[in-house]
Amino acid sequence: MKKIFVLLLTIALVVVMVGAAFTAAFSDVEQSTGNTLTAGTLNLTINGADGKAAEEENLTVESLKPGDSGTARCWAIRNNGSIAGNLWFEITEVVNVENDLLEMETDAGDTTAGEGELGSQLMGTWKFRTSDEAEWQEWAPRYIDDMPNTPFGKEGFSEQVLGVLGQDESVEICLDYEFVSTEGNENNKAQGDGVQFNVVFHLEQENALNAESQPPSESQ
């Protein structure tokens, strides 16, 4: 009886093993390895300079007199990152410097020793082009003093839209100036004065639902 039981168990094991061998007859395995997710970058450069070096890409125009005009400076603004973004810029921190309050200025009625008048007499026109062959496109001229709180180039806030700057794309942005001749002695109030400001370029992700990216000012 015991022998029969052992024999039956052996046969049963053989049947199971043969069955197991047949179920794994054909098979195949493939694998994908080294899977990586990486964030893209939005990185502006100004005339090829980045970060602190970009701050040095500024303009200096000296010894201006009424009637003078010209191009103060052009900047090549480039998206050196890996994803596209919307470009716009703003003028911030306009400071009118009186320097010395001269006799010609006080005679003309300049009574503010701590604040210059050049920014209210110097007209600026911002313009841009997307390539050397492209037409210049301009924003409406305005005095330097009136430039802050204007999101130049931002869709819905500006008459000219800079739009999308793709990877490795660049746009040339320039500032033309005109020292406006005024009636009477008004120009004399600006003798020796100076005006300083920052130009802040923004590159923002397309379709970003970020309320903080909206400029604080009203539309122009």
Distance spanning both ends of the chain, measured CA to CA: 104
Stretch that binds Ca ion, among 11-19, 69-77, 96-104, 176-184 (CB under 5 A): 96-104
Is residue 117 at the binding interface for Ca ion, with CB under 5 A as the rule? Answer: yes
- Of the candidates 180, 218, 1, 204, which has an alpha carbon nearest to the alpha carbon of residue 84? 204
Nearer to Ca ion, 90 or 98 (CB): 98
Minimum distance from CB of 153 to Ca ion (Å)?
18
Is residue 43 at the binding interface for Ca ion, with CB under 5 A as the rule? Answer: yes
Is residue 44 at the binding interface for Ca ion, with CB under 5 A as the rule? Answer: yes
Size of the site for Ca ion (CB under 5 A): 11
Is residue 122 at the binding interface for Ca ion, with CB under 5 A as the rule? Answer: no
Nearer to Ca ion, 98 or 176 (CB): 98
Residues in the chain: 220
Is residue 137 at the binding interface for Ca ion, with CB under 5 A as the rule? Answer: no
Tell me the C-alpha to C-alpha distance, in Å, between residue 26 and each of 21, 22, 23, 29: 11, 9, 8, 11
Q: Cα 191 to the chain's mean position, in Å?
A: 35
179 C-beta neighbours (distance < 10 Å), count: 19
Supply 220's token pair: 């122009």
Is residue 46 at the binding interface for Ca ion, with CB under 5 A as the rule? Answer: no
Residue showing the smallest CB distance to Ca ion in the complex: 112
Of 77, 90, 105, 152, which one interacts with Ca ion (CB under 5 A)? 105
Helices and strands per DSSP (H, E), number in the chain? 3, 9
Under a CB-based contact definition with an 8 Å cutoff, are residues 215 and 151 in contact?
Answer: yes
Is residue 50 at the binding interface for Ca ion, with CB under 5 A as the rule? Answer: yes
List residues near Ca ion by CB under 5 A: 43-44, 50, 98, 105, 110, 112, 116-117, 189, 193
